[in-house]
Amino acid sequence: MPGLRREEVAHLAGVSTDYYARLEQGRHPHVSETVLEAVARALRLDDTERGYLFELVRRGTPGPGRRRPAGGPRMRPAVHRMLDVLNDVSPALVVNHRSDVLAANHLAKALITDFAALPYRDRNLARFALLHPAARELYADWDKVAETFVASLRLATGSHPDDRQLNELVGELSIKVPEFRTWWAGHRVDQCAHGTQRLDHPVVGQLTLSYETLALPADPDQSICLYTAEPGSPSAQTLRLLASWSAPAGVREAASSDAPSS
C-alpha cells in the first residue's frame, strides 16, 4: 500500500519487521502461504498482484525447476480455424506471455498491423505498441495502452524469470522508450484480460472497441485476444466497413457474385 512503512506492513501482516525485511529481500527460503496471504491483505493487493507476489516468492524457493516446452510455439489447426471463422466478425490474435503474435486473422491485421509481414523479432504486440511510430497514431490513448503493456510484461517476468527473449525485450524498451523506466518502476502488474481501446484508424477513422483475452487451456502460454464493438454503435458500422475493405480478393469476389442482380 503506498505510504506504508516497512514496519507498518509487517504489523498489519502479523510478522516481525526483521522477518518482513528478509522476505522483501528474498532472503527467506521458506514462506508459508498463510504469511503470503497476510502480506497480500496488508498491501491490499488485487488478484493479479497477489498472483505476482506468489510467483516472485516461488521463484526464490529451492525446488525442482519448472518444466518448459521444448522448441517454439505450436498452434493447433482448430485455433487457426477459429481465427478464420472470426474473420468478418472480430479482429482476433493469438499471443503468448511475451505478447508475441503467433497468428492473426485478416481483420486484426487490417486493424493493427500485418505482423506476419514484419521481421520475426518485431512480431510482438507490446513492441509494436511501444516502439512503432504508427502505434502512437493508432491508439488514441497511447500512454494508457503502452503503460498497460508494460504492466503485462512485468507480470510475465514474474512467471518466466529465465525467459531470455522476454528479458531482452524489457531491456530494449527501457533504453528506447523514455516513459518505460517510470512505468516499470511503478511495479504495476496487469493481465490485459479485458478493457476498452479508442483507435484512430488511418483508413476507416475513429472507433472504440472492447477487448477480451481468453486463455487456451489446451495450449499453455497461449491466449486469444478478441476485439468487439457494441452492437448498433457507430464503431460496429466502422468495424464492418473495415472488414469489407480488408477482405481478401477472393472473398470480395465471392460476395459480389452472390449479390442479387438489379
Tell me the C-alpha distance between 224 and 104, whole Å: 9
* Mean pLDDT, residues 233-245: 95
Given a cut of 80, whether residue 193 has pLDDT beyond it is: yes
pLDDT (average), residues 123-147: 96
pLDDT at 108: 96
Domain boundaries, the chain: 6-59, 77-250
**Quick one: average pLDDT of 39-60?**
67
Q: How far apart are CA 241 and CA 244, in angstroms?
A: 5
In DSSP terms, which residues pair with 199 in a beta bridge?
Answer: 139, 207
Contact 66, 97 (CB under 8 A): no
22 CB-near residues (< 8 Å, 6+ apart): 28
Cα(174)–Cα(183) distance, integer angstroms? 10
What letter represents residue 65's amino acid?
G
Rounded distance, CA 123 to CA 114, Å? 9
Q: How far apart are CA 201 and CA 74, in angstroms?
A: 31
Q: Alpha helices, DSSP H only, in the chain?
A: 6-13, 17-24, 33-42, 47-59, 77-85, 106-111, 125-131, 133-138, 142-159, 164-176, 180-185, 234-246, 249-258
C-alpha cell belonging to residue 208: 472504440
Reduced to 3 DSSP states, what percent helix, strand and coil does the chain have, rounded to the nearest 5? 50, 15, 35
Nearest of 119, 116, 91 to residue 105 by alpha carbon: 91
**What's the CATH code, domain 77-250?**
3.30.450.180
User: How far apart are the C-alpha atoms of 128 and 225, rounded to whole Å?
Assistant: 15
Q: Quick one: how far is CA 205 from the chain centroid?
A: 24
Instruction: With beta carbons less than 8 A apart as the criterion, state whether 247 and 106 touch.
Output: yes
pLDDT tens column, 21-39: 766 666 555 666 676 677 7
pTM flag (> 0.85): no
Stronger pLDDT, 206 or 3, i.e. the higher one? 206
